[in-house]
Chains A and B, each alone.
Chain A
Amino acid sequence: MVTLSIDGREVQAEEGATILEVARDNNIYIPALCYHEEVAPYGACRLCMVEIAANGREKLVASCLYPVEEGLRVKTNTERVINNRRMIMELLLARCPDSEVIQDLAKQVGVDKTPFKLEDKQCILCGLCVRACEEVVGVSAISLVNRGVNRQVASPFYEAPDACIGCGSCAYICPVNAIKMEDIGDTRTITMPNPKMKKIEFKLKKCKVCGKYWAPERQLEYIARIAGLAPETFDVCPDCRQ
């Protein structure tokens, strides 16, 4: 255990934990969009910047990546931090002006308009979908491609990815709800926030007993393969399975 102070409060934390985790455990508010406890931290959104005092100097660090140290002094609401946060929020607001999540978060940090030129993107490039696809699902169907202003989430060659199993983890984890998933009849459609990519469609499996469409065929094939089950296991949906 190490002892550190956040906003003047002495807190105990386990070694190896990050500042953001410790702050959230102690109900100290630090906004963040690209952080999720189940995937490795990445430091993309920069909203979680905090000020730490080290060697007599104060510096800004991303709290989702910075591990706690003994005697660390963290401040989450100095003028420098708040200005930084506001600037990032203004940039995000200019990038995704239609996103409800961004609007709410902007209001919370005290930003209501942005001086920058408005764009109409939906994705904030936090990379959560890409990391979840790789770390949690283990298929890496999508990735962040290109650099700088051309950076985007895409599948190889912008085509419907062969590796994708249609599980919807990316749609679930997206912090700004930019990835859409919909089941209509026997097809599941996943729409990525990338104009170059078409909608990705999946055929759903029909239950032999009740006739309900219940999961994408490719996902069931994948689960059967990694779990070593017979493909017939999934002919019947969980409701009808005895």
Chain B
Amino acid sequence: MEKYAVFVPKLVTRRENFAPGHRACLGCGEALAVRLACKALGQNVIIVSATGCMEVISTPLPYTSWRVPWIHTLFENTAAVASGIEAGLKVIMRKGKRLAEEVKVVVMAGDGGTSDIGLQALSGALERRHDFLYICLDNEAYMNTGIQRSSATPYGASTTTAPAGKVSIGQVTWKKNVPAIAAAHDIPYVATACPSYPFDLMAKVARGAAIHGPAYVHILSVCPTGWRSATDLTVRIGRLAVETGVFPLYEVENGKYKLSIDLPQLRPIQDYLKLQGRFRHLSEEIMKEIQNRVNEEYAKLKEKVACA
């Protein structure tokens, strides 16, 4: 999907369901991801948005960026609210008030709302097989409130609650693998995506929305503010995350793993880390440790792909 060059982008819909003029930071990868996802989703959706950057920047009262039905929920109950809406829609259909087209319930939550606070509700909704799409916009910390660490923060990253200094290297735990947790629920569709690969992202969101049953799409969104990176490097850092193997793009359809971009050779991890201020303090040793871990994880993923 990624090999489309100049002409196919002209064919992507012009309609912006996520309107411009919102208050995202300069170079926000998450706003880009939401914009592309909304293009892929179209009009027949109800968006359930957890508290987080996307909620704050897109709906400063009395304005809104959403040109589709949108509801704001707390961190912890996003998936539960989505299940409720989906159940409500089912009842409307059953009572014979037929809707012309199927309306899809789509959750958009950050990494904090997914991997920390909302995990229990997410697990419940996946287990109950609600027909909804869960999009996790992962910027690897609680950026909205001021860069506090979350369980999605990678090893060695400096955050305000895990600061790097003489005593600590910053975050001392590894990133939680939420796509694997979602896949462990045996749901029909799990995928990882990155807005630096726009066609891949749109195809995955559209696929997730088309599937009957729960679907989960994990989107890595570069956050220049929290990652302390240059605002014009957002797309490049996203691509480097994929090319170094830090965030491999793959799909899990009915338990079968498939790599979306199969790299013959991974780039060295330094290419990715050097561009970000949050990893500035890392010594060669720690970088080597991270490199080993990335290689290990990538090999594990390759094994799963080979099994399918």
- Please report A residues at the B interface, Cβ cutoff 8 Å: 24, 27-29, 36-38, 108, 132, 136-137, 167-169, 172-173, 183, 188, 214-215, 219, 223, 239
Contact = CB atoms under 8 A, between A and B. Distances in A.
Given A108-B101, A239-B239, A219 B11 contact: no
A37 B13 contact: yes
B167 interface: no
Q: Is the interface of B mostly helix, strand, loop or mixed?
A: loop
Contacts of B6: 167, 223
Interface of B: 3-8, 10-11, 13-15, 43-44, 100-101, 236, 239, 243
Contact of A169 (B7, B100, B101): B7
A12 B281 CA distance: 59
Contacts of B5: 167, 215, 219, 223
A167 B101 contact: no
Contacts of A38: 10-11, 14
Contacts of B3: 168, 183, 188, 214-215
9 contacts: A24-B43, A27-B43, A37-B15, A132-B7, A169-B4, A169-B11, A172-B4, A173-B11, A215-B5
A22 to B, nearest CB: 14
Contacts of B7: 132, 136-137, 167, 169
B8 A172 contact: yes
A128 to B, nearest CB: 10
Contacts of B13: 37
Contact of A168 (B8, B43, B101, B239): B8
Given A29-B100, A29-B101, A239-B243, A168 B4 contact: yes
Per CB-CB distance, the 8 closest pairs between chain A and chain B, nearest first, are A29-B100, A167-B7, A169-B7, A137-B7, A172-B8, A29-B101, A38-B11, A136-B10
